[in-house]
Homo-oligomer: A and B are copies of this chain.
Amino acid sequence: MRVLLGSGGIRTEEQVKLYHDETANHFQGVDEVLFIPYAGADHDYYLERMQNFSAQSGIKLVGIHQSSDPIKAVEEAQGIYVGGGNTFLLTRDLHNNGLIESIRKRVRAEMPYMGVSAGSNVAGPTMQTTNDMPIVAPPSLETLNIVPFQINPHFFSGQTWKKNGDTFTPHHGETRIDRLREFHEHNQTPVLGLSEGTYLRWDGEVGLLIGGDATVFQSGKEPTIHASKTKFDGNLLPIN
């Protein structure tokens, strides 16, 4: 398989360069990539913005929402890119357009898939490790299951801080680590917490971490931090 999952939160010059390098490498030999903008509310606007950004990667995007038959668009696509936004919205529209099974089938048959943020969340068995607000109700939280673990994008450890003027004060909501521990009180699937600006390349058996560190959460165990270039198996156990 050819799966590339990004955390999002790309801001520095170095992060932007890595984004374009990874995207170009991932879609090498693909003339046209099918873009799925369902995580945003305004599909035309989102497509245009991403077309401009992806031109720098040498990638041509076409919008699935401009096709009268989205399932056929997936069946005929040379590559798929699922953008970020709200994961509940994205998951609802993937289900309502009947795309879960068709995307899964194509990706398992070696079509390149790239997801960023919400687009990485839906690559796992469920979207249950999203950070997003449930602004709509999808018919199911089950997603593409093209990687056998869960993704938590925009991961960071520690407390949230608020800034008022020049003063920082702590926020007392649950930390990301609290939330993922709670996830494992009810679920067994391991979770990869991807720091902002990082990627996982997944070939169907081995995952390779690119651009920064990631934190692995296993049910009943302490989280572990892994550096860029770490390789993982499908249980998120590091491979030497």
Contacts and interface: CB of A to CB of B under 8 A. Distances in A.
Interface of A: 8-11, 41, 86, 89, 127-137, 140-141, 154, 156, 158-164, 168, 171-174, 179-180, 182-183, 185-187, 196
A174 B173 CA distance: 16
Contacts of A162: 156, 158, 160-161
A174 B164 CA distance: 18
A137 B140 contact: yes
Q: What's the number of copies of this chain in the assembled complex?
A: 2
B11 A185 contact: no
A183 B137 contact: no
Given A130-B134, A163-B159, A172-B8, A182 B86 contact: yes
A187 B128 CA distance: 22
Nearest to A131: B173
Contact of A171 (B9, B128, B133): B9
Contacts of A164: 158
Given A156-B162, A171-B196, A196-B171, A185 B9 contact: no
Contacts of A154: 171-173
Contact of A135 (B134, B156, B182): B182
B133 A130 contact: yes
A86 B140 CA distance: 19
10 contacts: A8-B172, A128-B133, A128-B136, A133-B180, A134-B134, A135-B187, A137-B140, A158-B163, A158-B164, A160-B160
Nearest to A140: B137
A6 B156 CA distance: 27
A142 to B, nearest CB: 9
Contacts of A128: 133-137
B171 A168 contact: no
A14 to B, nearest CB: 14
Nearest to A92: B186
Central interface residue in A8, A173, A179, A186, by most chain B CB within 10 Å? A173
A100 to B, nearest CB: 15
Contacts of A41: 182, 185-186
Nearest to A42: B185
Contact of A9 (B158, B163, B173, B186): B173
Contact of A137 (B141, B160, B185): B141
